[in-house]
Amino acid sequence: MPYVKVEIAKGIATVEQKRAVIRGMTEVLVKELGRNPEYIFVVIDEIDTDNWGRKGQSLTELWQAANRDAAVAPATETD
Amino acid sequence: MPYVKVEIAKGIATVEQKRAVIRGMTEVLVKELGRNPEYIFVVIDEIDTDNWGRKGQSLTELWQAANRDAAVAPATETD
Amino acid sequence: MPYVKVEIAKGIATVEQKRAVIRGMTEVLVKELGRNPEYIFVVIDEIDTDNWGRKGQSLTELWQAANRDAAVAPATETD
Amino acid sequence: MPYVKVEIAKGIATVEQKRAVIRGMTEVLVKELGRNPEYIFVVIDEIDTDNWGRKGQSLTELWQAANRDAAVAPATETD
Amino acid sequence: MPYVKVEIAKGIATVEQKRAVIRGMTEVLVKELGRNPEYIFVVIDEIDTDNWGRKGQSLTELWQAANRDAAVAPATETD
Amino acid sequence: MPYVKVEIAKGIATVEQKRAVIRGMTEVLVKELGRNPEYIFVVIDEIDTDNWGRKGQSLTELWQAANRDAAVAPATETD
């Protein structure tokens, strides 16, 4: 009966990548907790970058700042 | 003050059906728990079938397989 | 595949009442949306009254105020 | 490490207003709980008014009723 | 910035198993989506078996029925 | 009708601090979005530090490591 909700930014994953996430998350619960995959749900929620915030700024703002910095030196820490 | 979140697959419910779900969920909480409907919230979240997984596969994949099986014999167990 | 999360205040429902909520919520989704109960999940989350707020006050505070008012006249609107 | 999910009706907030909500929620957690903003997430979920219910009716229905009433007298209590 | 919420039944996982779930879920998001683990949150919510329902029954009821069946023949499909 | 869910680590907030969070979050939605506080819900979920992960480790592990480092030099970045 496990249920998994995965929130990611919109636009970072293809349909194939989302299938890989569903498969991978399910395998973790089968391997580590011995759950029956028949009743393992995984739901992916893709969040608009205007609707996701960290340290008080939207992801849209954080990524714009990271891109500006990357023009000078390679980004090391991005969300 | 109850709050209810209902996650369903996108495309399976009309506006009228969603109103019936909101009404029905609210009635359950009034009847079984004696809650005041004034403060009962019901939120429906419609999930893309590429974003919903069960037993390690997306609903898109599960429904395609169910449709293939249904061409041979009627489906008995679908999500 | 529907998934339902129900948040209620801690202490307002017995085990029997919670079973009635699980049964009732499931029936709404079967009746209104034709879903297969095999894959309908209902999760009840019981929230401490110190951790639930409405109009800027915790439920603990709101219920204390409602009880004070009820000593004068019967409460008409409680959470 | 706090995580905040904010559910609002779709269409009531501009990009600028959503940034103000992200900033404001983050400041509350820094000021009241002394959390490090580096690891404070805020996610805004904008819900279609057909998918949000209160007292057994969708917000679409509640707002239509409130608008009808407002033609006669100013609304005092809207969601 | 991904955020993962994992809901499991209370009592099925040790502290070590929960660490393995946190590690495994994080690795899936790093491997499949290239996310930075610095900002990957995983939250595990352990649900009382009286508060989790499937096909209209609580997990407490479903597991009791599965145990009765298992006295006759080995269970093949449990939550 | 906004609904806010706040997830924090268990043990970091007193009852008074939780009331301040409920009040502060409500004020942000009134000030920035003009919502009616009558229908603003705030729910605080306190997560056991064994159940919260970041960068693949539980908060229990992260805080132990931070405390070890703090014995040598003051911590600058904690969750």
Whether E76 shows a pLDDT value over 60: the answer reads no
F17-47 pLDDT, tens digit each: 999 999 999 999 999 999 999 999 999 999 9
What band does F71 get if pLDDT is binned at 50, 70 and 90? Answer: confident
Taking the alpha carbons of F53, F54, F56, F58 in that order, is the dihedral positive or negative? negative
C31-40 pLDDT, tens digit each: 999 999 999 9
The residue range of the domain holding F4 is 1-47
Q: What span, in angstroms and rounded, lies between the C-alpha atoms of E5 and A4?
A: 6
Closest residue in D to B10 (Cα) is: D51
Work out the percent of chain F whose per-residue pLDDT is above 90: 81
At residue E57, the pLDDT reads 98
Residues D77 and F37 sit within 8 Å (Cβ to Cβ): no
**Are C4 and C39 within one domain?**
yes
At residue C1, the pLDDT reads 79
CB contact under 8 A, A3 and E7: yes
Here the tokens at position A33 are: 């907790």
**Are D4 and D29 within one domain?**
yes
CB contact under 8 A, B59 and C1: yes
At residue F69, the pLDDT reads 84
> How far, CA to CA in Å, does C78 sit from each of C49, C60, C69, F19?
14, 12, 11, 19
C3-50 pLDDT, tens digit each: 999 999 999 999 999 999 999 999 999 999 999 999 999 999 999 999
In the sheet that holds F3-9, the strands lie side by side as A57-58, A52-54, D41-47, D3-9, F3-9, F41-47, C52-54, C57-58
E23-53 pLDDT, tens digit each: 999 999 999 999 999 999 999 999 999 999 9
Helices vs strands, H then E, count in chain C = 2, 4
Sequence-separated (6 or more) residues with CB below 8 Å from residue A35: A1, A2, A29, E8
Nearest to F37 among C47, C52, C55 (CB): C55
Looking at the DSSP bridge assignments, the partners of residue A58 are: A53
Q: What span, in angstroms and rounded, lies between the C-alpha atoms of A70 and C49?
A: 48
**Are F5 and F36 within one domain?**
yes
D52-61 pLDDT, tens digit each: 999 999 999 9
At residue A70, the pLDDT reads 81
D23-38 pLDDT, tens digit each: 999 999 999 999 999 9
Q: What span, in angstroms and rounded, lies between the C-alpha atoms of D9 and F36?
A: 13
**Are F4 and F39 within one domain?**
yes
Q: What span, in angstroms and rounded, lies between the C-alpha atoms of C34 and E65?
A: 25
Q: What span, in angstroms and rounded, lies between the C-alpha atoms of D49 and F37?
A: 18
**Are D2 and D25 within one domain?**
yes
Provide the 3-class DSSP secondary structure of residue D8: strand
CB contact under 8 A, B26 and D56: yes
Provide the 3-class DSSP secondary structure of residue A31: helix
Q: What span, in angstroms and rounded, lies between the C-alpha atoms of A74 and A11?
A: 22
Whether E74 shows a pLDDT value over 70: the answer reads no
Contacts of C54 in chain F (CB under 8 A): 38-42
Q: C15-33 and B15-33 helices cross at what angle (nearest 10)?
A: 160
All partners of chain E with 3 or more CB pairs under 8 angstroms: A, C, D, F
What average pLDDT is seen over chain C? 93
Q: How many CB pairs under 8 A join D and E?
A: 9
Tell me the shortest Cα–Cα distance from E57 to chain D, in angstroms: 24
Is B in contact with D (3 or more beta carbon pairs below 8 Å)? yes
A3-53 pLDDT, tens digit each: 999 999 999 999 999 999 999 999 999 999 999 999 999 999 999 999 999
CB contact under 8 A, A3 and C1: no
Burial letters for D22-51: b for 16+ Cβ neighbours within 10 Å, e otherwise? bbbbbebbbebbebbbebbbbbbbbbbbbb
**Are C43 and C72 within one domain?**
no
At residue E73, the pLDDT reads 63
- Alpha helices (H) along E10-78: 15-33, 59-72
Question: Is this complex's ipTM strictly greater than 0.90?
Answer: yes
Is D in contact with C (3 or more beta carbon pairs below 8 Å)? no
What CATH number does the domain containing A32 carry? 3.30.429.10
**Are F30 and F7 within one domain?**
yes
Mutate to test the interface with B, among C3, C5, C32, C40 (most CBs of B within 10 A): C32
At residue E36, the pLDDT reads 96
| AA letter at D7 | E
Number of domains into which chain C is organized = 2
Tell me the shortest Cα–Cα distance from B37 to chain D, in angstroms: 4
Nearest to C58 among F22, F39, F46 (CB): F22
At residue C77, the pLDDT reads 55
Here the tokens at position C25 are: 């919520």
Whether E22 shows a pLDDT value over 90: the answer reads yes
**Are A39 and A58 within one domain?**
no
Closest residue in F to C56 (Cα) is: F23
pLDDT average per 10 residues of sequence, chain B (79 residues): 96 98 98 97 98 98 90 63
Residues E7 and E49 sit within 8 Å (Cβ to Cβ): no
**Are D67 and D38 within one domain?**
no
**Are A37 and A63 within one domain?**
no
Whether C75 shows a pLDDT value over 60: the answer reads no
At residue A77, the pLDDT reads 55
Whether D19 shows a pLDDT value over 90: the answer reads yes
Contacts of A10 in chain B (CB under 8 A): none
Here the tokens at position B14 are: 């009309």
**Are B28 and B65 within one domain?**
no
What band does E71 get if pLDDT is binned at 50, 70 and 90? Answer: confident
What average pLDDT is seen over chain E? 93
What DSSP element (H or E) covers D71? helix D59-72
**Are B57 and B31 within one domain?**
no
The yes-or-no answer on residue E37 being catalytic is no
